[in-house]
Amino acid sequence: MTLKAVAQYCQGKLNDASLRYLHEKRGVDDEFIEKFGLGYCPFEVEELVSTIGKDNLLKEGVVFETDQGEICCFIRNSVVFPFINQYGKVVSISFRPMQSNEVIKSKNLRKYWHVSFVKGSFLYGLNRALYTIRQQEIAIVVEGQFDVIVSHQFGITNTIGAVGSALTAQHIKMLSRFAKKIVVVFDGDKAGRDASEKIELKRDKVKDVDIVIVKLPEGDDVDSFLQSQGYEAYKKLISSAT
C-alpha cells in the first residue's frame, strides 16, 4: 500500500513546471498523464514523509537516512511513474529528473531510477495494453516509459515496455500466454542494437511465439520517431520488419 500511496501523493503534486515538461518537452497530453498515473515529487519532501510515514518509505527504499539522521529522497524534483502490474497493483515507482538528456549526461546522472523493483518479471503498461494484445495476438515491446505512453497516445495500444534494453525469458513466457507474435522495437543506439542482437541470436530457440526485430534509425527511440515521423511511418517500419 505504501507505493500506491506515494503514487497518489505525487499525482496530486503535478504543478505548472512538471506539466509543462510533460506537455512541451515530452508531448504527453493530459488524458495520458491521467491514464498512466504520472505524478511529480517536489524538491521538499517533508510533507511526503509526514503523509506516508518515514518507516514505510524507508522500507520501500523511497527515502534513506544518513548517519546524521537526515532523511534524503531519491525521487524529489522528478516526474514519477507508478509501475502497475496486470492485476492493477503498484509494484514499483520509477522517476526521472526533469532535465534534458544532455544535462543528465553532463552531470553523470541516471535518466531513470526505480525502487522496489525486479526488472525481469515486469512489463510497463501491460495493465493498459493487455486487452489489445489479446485482441490482435501481437505485443510490441519497447524500452522506456515515454516510448510506451506516446505509443498509446498514437493509438498503438498493444505496446508495453521492457524498462531498459532487456527482453527476458520471463517476459517472453508471460507474453506467450496472450500473443502469437512479439515485435521488439529497441532504441537506435548501441545499447539498443546490442540488446536486439542478443534477442535475434536466441529467438529461434523460442517456442510458441514468433519474435520480430524492428531496427530504428540511428539515434531514434520510439518516442522520438513517432513524434517526428508520425504513425504511418512507424507502422510501415513495423510491417517491413522480419
Write down which residue in 117, 138, 157 finishes a domain. Answer: 117
Whether residue 109 is found in the same domain as residue 151: no
CB atoms within 10 A of CB 153: 19
Global pTM value: 0.92
Q: Are residues 136 and 99 in the same domain?
A: no
pLDDT at res. 196? 80
Residue 164 burial (CB < 10 Å; 0-12/13-18/19+)? Answer: middle
Alpha carbon distances (Å) from 178 to 11, 21, 159, 205, 212: 31, 35, 13, 19, 16
Strand order in the sheet with 113-115: 39-41, 78-84, 90-97, 113-115
Asked if 74 and 166 sit in the same domain, the reply is: no
Q: Residue 41 has what pLDDT? A: 93
The per-residue pLDDT string of the chain (242 residues; one tens digit each, 9 = 90 and over) reads 899 999 999 999 999 999 999 999 999 999 999 999 999 999 888 999 999 999 999 898 888 888 887 888 878 889 999 999 999 999 999 999 887 777 777 767 677 788 877 778 899 999 999 999 999 999 999 998 999 999 999 999 999 999 876 888 889 999 999 999 999 998 878 887 878 877 777 777 778 899 999 989 898 999 999 999 999 999 999 988 76
Please identify, among 117, 146, 176, the residue that sits at the C-terminal boundary of a domain. 117
| Cα separation, 159 vs 128, whole angstroms | 9
Q: Quick one: 233 and 148 in the same domain?
A: yes
> What separation in angstroms does the CA of 107 have from each of 97, 103, 113?
12, 6, 15
What cell does 194 get? Answer: 546490442
Q: What is the CATH number of the domain that holds 166?
A: 3.40.1360.10
Which residues constitute the domain of residue 10? 2-117
When divided into structural domains, the chain yields a total of 2
